[in-house]
Chains A and B, each alone.
Chain A
Amino acid sequence: MINVRHLIKRFGGSAVLDGIDLSIEQGEIIVVIGPSGTGKSTLLRCLNFLEKPEAGHITIGDLCVDAAHARRDDILALRRRTAFVFQNYALFANKTALENIAEGLIVVNRWSKNKAHSRAHEILERIGLADKANAYPASLSGGQQQRVGIGRAMAAQADVILFDEPTSSLDPEWVEEVLALMKQLATERQTMLVVTHEMSFAQDVADRVIFMEGGRIVEQGPPSQLFQAPKDPRTRDFLRKVLANQPINPMG
């Protein structure tokens, strides 16, 4: 359903993404892991054109974008088929929880305000924040803000939701509620591409885990294979370091 071919992104002279090839099936949950600064977030941001890749092709359904020659319409169309969840939530500070979720429906999808608000209410129910509809971001906890951020992405009905380290900015007490919501989405077979350092989430939820280093995909496979029997020494090395302070349950 989603096909990325030879995606390249450079900052200055160095390639942050050095020819990424990736296919994602509908309903697939993919977790991307790897050391900091290896292009994981950049990959997500390029798929949404928050960063403009220098070269490569991105295909989502019947939409095919040639990164080197992407026109404004291509970029808007691509963004409308991908939704993004930010590390720092990035909620619209001037809008309530309800309005944050409804905003895209009203402005981008041209829904009536009533229809958008009633959809936003449904989503607030699903993310367990029905009672916070009229709360502004400043009055919500980090966990609640991120759940609204996920709600905003859900509203877009995009083909894929891109999660860029969704729990990294959260105080530990809020991590669990955000992961629980992501797990709930996973059971609904929402297509997800998740960059995270939460190894147990990857272990429990992912259909496929991708290990990236140096702007390349080094190794990928189902979590059982990647965590229990990594083939590449770089993967083994990375896993040994992170799993030392973050053990996962091999039985799932």
Chain B
Amino acid sequence: MSILNVDYMVGLVPILFRYLPLTLAMALAGMVLALALASALAVIRVLRIPGLNGATLLFISFFRGTPLLVQLFLFYYGLPQVLAFLTQINGVTATIMGLTLHFAAYMAESIRAAIVGVDRSQTEAALSIGMTNGQLMRRIVLPQATRVAVPTLMNYFIDMIKATSLAFTLGVTELMGATQKEAAGSFLYFEAFITVALFYWVIVEGLAWLQRRLETRLNEAYRR
């Protein structure tokens, strides 16, 4: 049994840094789009908008009920066969699409719970001074729901960063894809994958630290 090739591992780090932007970009794009979609779905569920409510439930059920990998293959390999305009779809786009739809389904439920958790009397107070439903949501309910939802949503973001590694199965060379290529060239599989694992771990811990700081700030209004 050979000992760990530390030099190889150290040498791998700058290579990984080159692919970090793509990984983060996919996760960020997915997160922003998923947040927007999830908020819309959550509001539809809370207000029980007729027609849309049922469609939303079906959407959530499907995207929570099927594996992300299956969804990615469906978008990348499957859809172009039935939808001609998607023949140009590349791996990055398909990944962002998949991450958006998949995580939006989960996040919609967290956001909905956070919205429902905002004290009902504040809703009445906002309505009583003549706010519209939209103003009420924007000014009173969503800011407070955000505070409740942030820890969960940050967890989904962390999960999403790790899930970008699936893009490698669509031929995208991101962190995981790059590592796979390096490992295939050097045959140092253990070194390569433990390095990328540590790399993901450090990113996630950095985000967890940010999350704690964000929560402290969001809780400012609630300190007695």
Contact = CB atoms under 8 A, between A and B. Distances in A.
Q: Real complex partners, A and B? A: yes
B125 A91 contact: yes
Given A94-B140, A136-B221, A138-B222, A80 B125 contact: no
A90 B129 contact: no
A84 B130 contact: no
B144 interface: yes
B130 A76 contact: yes
Interface in A94-115: 94-96, 103-104, 107-108
Interface in B79-129: 119, 121-122, 124-129
Interface residues of B, number: 23
Contact of B131 (A91, A93, A107, A136): A107
A156 B128 CA distance: 10
Nearest to B140: A92
Contact of A103 (B129, B147, B223): B129
B124 A94 contact: no
B172 to A, nearest CB: 40
Contacts of A249: none
A107 B135 contact: yes
B85 to A, nearest CB: 40
Interface string A124-142: 0000000000001011000
Given A79-B129, A93-B144, A136-B221, A86 B124 contact: yes
B221 A138 contact: yes
A190 to B, nearest CB: 16
Interface in B204-224: 220-224
Contacts of A82: 128
Contacts of A235: none
Contacts of A138: 221-224
Given A103-B139, A107-B131, A94 B223 contact: no
Contacts of A156: 129-130
A108 B127 CA distance: 10
A136 B222 contact: yes
B167 to A, nearest CB: 38
A83 B221 contact: no
Q: Which 7 A-B pairs have the closest CB atoms?
A: A84-B128, A90-B121, A104-B129, A90-B125, A80-B130, A79-B130, A136-B221
Given A80-B129, A93-B122, A108-B135, 5 more contacts: A50-B127, A84-B128, A94-B147, A107-B131, A108-B130
Interface of A: 48, 50, 76, 79-80, 82-84, 86, 88, 90-96, 103-104, 107-108, 136, 138-139, 149, 152, 156
